[in-house]
Structure 1
Amino acid sequence: MDIDKHTVIYTIIASIPKGCVASYGQVAALAGYPNNARLVGRLLKEIPKGSTIPWHRVVNSQGKISFAESCPQYHIQRERLITEGIVINQRINMAKYRW
């Protein structure tokens, strides 16, 4: 994978303000790679531990956390979003919280 793609996508994710979310597809499009939402997902899996990139602000296009509810990362992401003031019912209201 191209290092420049990594940099651009990580920069976009780092730019998502507190209290807002973006979808995988939105991040890909903003980075200049429309229709590459899965690329964003793969790069998020590669973020090193201890990174300050706000990975938790990226959700799927339906406003849902992509991790299974039984997964520890699901609960970490959910808590981080709630701490930032994002209301999560069954899903996040993308009309309200989309960056």
Structure 2
Amino acid sequence: MQSAVILIDVEKGQINAVAQRLAELEGISEVFSTCGRYDLVAIARTRDFESLAQLVTERLMQVEGIHDTETLNAMQVHSRHDLETMFSLGW
């Protein structure tokens, strides 16, 4: 599995609409609205790097209202949570 954190600047007044559209994209597991430098943070989880690249460079860029993004590609996951088990249980 390939994971990434995507930091997103959104056009004024578009945060909720963009967040909803992002949450519907295959490969985006969570979207958070935030205070600070970025308006939204999206967590991407894809089967491989090629799928992540397609998500970020093609599908994400088709979402109207996104001004700019910065993608942080995860090198290694450090977590006490077993994400695979959580998702299989429907959490």
Q: TM-score, normalised by structure 1?
A: 0.28
**Which structure has the larger Rg?**
2
TM-score, normalising length: structure 2: 0.30
Using CA pairs below 8 Å that are at least 6 residues apart, which structure has the higher relative contact order? 2
